[in-house]
Structure 1
Amino acid sequence: MSARHEYRGLRVGLTSLTVAAGCLLALLTGVAFAVLLWAVSEADSSAAGADCDHAVLAAVVGLTASTALGAGFTVLQHRAVVRPVRGAKAAAEQLAGGDLSVRIVPSKVAEIGALGTSFNTMAASLQDSRRRVMESVEAVQRRTARDLHDGAQQRLVSLMIGLRLARELLADADPAAIDLLDQSIDNAQTAINELRELASGIYPLVLTVKGLAPAVQDLAARCPVPTVVVESGDGRRTCPAVESNAYFVVAEAVTNAVKHARASRIDVCLEFGEVLRIKVADDGVGGVCPASAGSGMTGLADRVAAFDGKLAIDSPPGGGTTIQVQIPVPATA
């Protein structure tokens, strides 16, 4: 059954319940008022005095009962209908904001429970879809970086070696030719360095070969701001997609600290275990608002959420920025 049909069934069911309750309350109230009016009309008759007293009492009791029933129905309706619907609305807003881990607690009301089940199924499907996209992107990045390293980069290295051999063989050649060879060697070396940086930015080779911790250490060594990396835990390796996303979370946080925080020091903590815990802290200007952060923070949150992870950002003005991430490690890793 589609979500639209379930919503239609929910609306029809709630409408029927409300109409039935309204009719019952109207019937009780009408009977009570009828009895009360009859008692008032017969109040002047002494013969009917006792009956009138009983009728008035019955009318008051009826009105009280209908009022209590109405109040009770209102409370039950709020608990059974209004509160779950508000919860569903809040969950839908979280889902629209990118939090695909949000779920609705199933309601005991059949229609609302069915709607909640459909919502949870949809959210889980979206989360699985985003995870598959992340894994696909990670595989493409890894393959592209490997092709650059094994293809273009190796050819450039061979070219530079050939140029250096030619330089040695032509040591007594025309100085202009020697200068041209020297420039070509320098250009080849520059191209190799740039290609190596490009491949590392796409997917570091050390991440594939050695894992997350050595890759982060290599990132810290190349960072223009002094960066200290501390490791703890069992050091286990996990699936490539999780390692890749964890690495790029660290890389994005470090890049933000270098470009925007005006930091003089960055600390990275990696704790390996059943849950991979990452903390990146800088001593910069702080003041990062997660709700209004740029696309970098949004992408970072998407990476973490794709693997059922949690992201927390603490960035008081003038107090630096601390980013903490927790990503469950798959049992099959």
Structure 2
Amino acid sequence: MSDTAVLPPPAPAPAPPTRPRGPLRQLGVDTGYSLLALPLAVAAFVVVVTGLSAGAGLLVVWIGVAVLAGTLLAARGLAGVERAWLPAVLGRELPRPAYLPAGEGGAVRRLTAPLRDPQCWLDALHGLLRFPFAVLAFVVTVTWWAGALGGLTYGLWDWALPDASTDPDNSDLLELLGLESSSWSRIFSYTLVGAVFAVLLPFVVRGAALLQAQLGRALLTSRAAAHAEIGRLTEGRDAAVAAEAVALRRLERDIHDGPQQHLVRLGMDLSRAQRQLDRDPAAAQATLDEAATLAHEALEELRALSRGIAPPVLADRGLAAALAAVAARSPVAVELAVDLPQERLAPVVENTAYFVISEALANVAKHSGATRAEVVVVAAGPALRVAVEDDGHGGAVLAPGHGLAGLADRLRAVDGVLTVDSPPGGPTRLVAEVPCGS
């Protein structure tokens, strides 16, 4: 069994960034991308233009369908090479599209699978549109590298160039600008120009690479990102439905095992007291005393259940006051630290945080064997961070059917994340992050 269990949200909404690179390494990545992209762009442009033209022309004899399908498959392969480059250039992982499978059926259906896949057509469109961007990035990258390296090293090879003294028709940049030209003035001027190119080189090459990479991101991964977001929302909805179903079943069980039993017993005691009233008033009074005790216990249980659903103090006075009440009722000593903004958080955020903390403290009291617990609630940036730690025996896991799985579902429904660190022997630390929204 692992000591640490983590249940992440179904799809991270933005993709996690990769490890930051140093400027020289990033310059090398951008340069390599811009230089190697040109031959790939030329190949993709030629394949797509030739294949689509030939396929469209041959559709009248049906062989064009096979040509178009083969063209789209080739564009898909070249687009895959581009997708492999994009994370290194953009600095973050990108979702990969799920292509339409060929599936079962006849040969015609399998053959036309690429023609029915929108992403294959986006790959072909990328092969067409990428070509001018690749040419621009290649030219800019080569020009800036040549300017930087040529200028900085000009003093090493100035002697090898012809000048006006040896060739009257030859003029350098200074002479074209009407300035006096000498060996030292040329070296100084061109070295200065090279230094300017070198300073601007990382920014210019980065901009050229990003311009081309953003086109690839838009055409090659945006549809996959949209599908991932839809999947994430669907899983969140399913988790919300599951969490509510579990809460309703638990509420039904608690009402059946608690107040309902007391009320049934109360009805029986009142009927018995009514029969005893004439023949044995003393016994009737004792029965009525028991009935009053049962009524009080049923009322207390109903109040406890209502606090678990939607405590009035949470709606009236806010999350801090509601958590103070939860900590005061806990049979385990609780140290509470709350750092919230002055304005109230959204009701769904407060309700989720209250539910998580109250359930976590209930689990601490029932299962952990702890003598103390610590609850820390901090509104950190776009998320509300909740941490519950106890000094119990540990061993808590996020497994289906356990109470922590219900907390995870409740958090997943609001795009939250639950992390549980509970090695055998303790301590147990539960951390929940609830997005606060915009």
Normalised TM-score (structure 2): 0.42
Per-residue deviation at 1:14? 8.3
Q: Mark the runs of 5 or more structure 1 residues left unpaired by the alignment.
A: 1-11, 23-72, 90-104, 164-169
What pairs up with 1:1-333 in 2 under 5 angstroms? 16=71, 76=81, 79=84, 87=96, 108=216, 112-113=220-221, 115-123=223-231, 125-126=233-234, 129=237, 174-272=281-379, 274=381, 275-290=383-398, 292=399, 294-331=401-438
Secondary structure of the residue that 1:79 maps to in structure 2? Answer: helix
Deviations 1:32-62 (A, max 9, x none): xxxxxxxxxxxxxxxxxxxxxxxxxxxxxxx
After superposition, the Cα gap between the structure-2 partners of 1:203 and 1:176, relative to the gap in structure 1 and judged at 3 Å, is same
After superposition, the Cα gap between the structure-2 partners of 1:86 and 1:210, relative to the gap in structure 1 and judged at 3 Å, is closer
Deviations 1:248-297 (A, max 9, x none): 1112221222222221111111224653221100111223344x464422
Native 8 Å contact 2:96 2:221 kept in 1: no
Deviations 1:193-233 (A, max 9, x none): 12212222222222222222222222222222222212224
* Identical amino acids, percent of aligned pairs: 34
Deviates more, 1:107-116 or 1:234-243: 107-116
Deviations 1:143-174 (A, max 9, x none): x9xxx9xxx9xxx9xx9xxx9xxxxxx9xx94
Native 8 Å contact 1:236 1:272 kept in 2: no
Native 8 Å contact 2:240 2:410 kept in 1: no
After superposition, the Cα gap between the structure-2 partners of 1:225 and 1:79, relative to the gap in structure 1 and judged at 3 Å, is same
Q: 2: distance between equivalents of 1:288 and 1:269? A: 19
Secondary structure of the residue that 1:316 maps to in structure 2? Answer: coil
Q: 2: distance between equivalents of 1:129 and 1:106? A: 32
Whichever residue aligns with residue 190 of structure 1, its letter is E
Native 8 Å contact 2:95 2:221 kept in 1: no
Q: 1: distance between equivalents of 2:95 and 2:437? A: 34
Q: 2: distance between equivalents of 1:245 and 1:13? A: 53
Q: 2: distance between equivalents of 1:21 and 1:235? A: 53
Native 8 Å contact 1:286 1:317 kept in 2: yes
Secondary structure of the residue that 2:216 maps to in structure 1? Answer: coil
Deviations 1:234-260 (A, max 9, x none): 354222222111111112221222222
Q: Which has the higher contact order (CA 8 A, sep 6+)?
A: 2
Deviates more, 1:115-124 or 1:295-304: 115-124
Whichever residue aligns with residue 180 of structure 1, its letter is T
Q: 1: distance between equivalents of 2:300 and 2:332? A: 20
Native 8 Å contact 1:307 1:327 kept in 2: yes
Native 8 Å contact 1:80 1:108 kept in 2: no
The corresponding residue for 1:70 is none
Deviations 1:107-145 (A, max 9, x none): 92887436414413413542674698699x69x99xx9x
After superposition, the Cα gap between the structure-2 partners of 1:322 and 1:21, relative to the gap in structure 1 and judged at 3 Å, is closer
CA RMSD of aligned residues (A): 4.6
After superposition, the Cα gap between the structure-2 partners of 1:233 and 1:14, relative to the gap in structure 1 and judged at 3 Å, is farther
The corresponding residue for 2:126 is none
After superposition, the Cα gap between the structure-2 partners of 1:327 and 1:192, relative to the gap in structure 1 and judged at 3 Å, is same
Q: 2: distance between equivalents of 1:106 and 1:315? A: 43
Whichever residue aligns with residue 79 of structure 1, its letter is A
Q: 1: distance between equivalents of 2:355 and 2:385? A: 14
The corresponding residue for 1:43 is none
Per-residue deviation at 1:187? 2.0
Secondary structure of the residue that 1:108 maps to in structure 2? Answer: helix
After superposition, the Cα gap between the structure-2 partners of 1:87 and 1:259, relative to the gap in structure 1 and judged at 3 Å, is farther
Q: Mark the runs of 5 or more structure 2 residues left unpaired by the alignment.
A: 1-66, 99-212, 271-276
Whichever residue aligns with residue 229 of structure 1, its letter is L
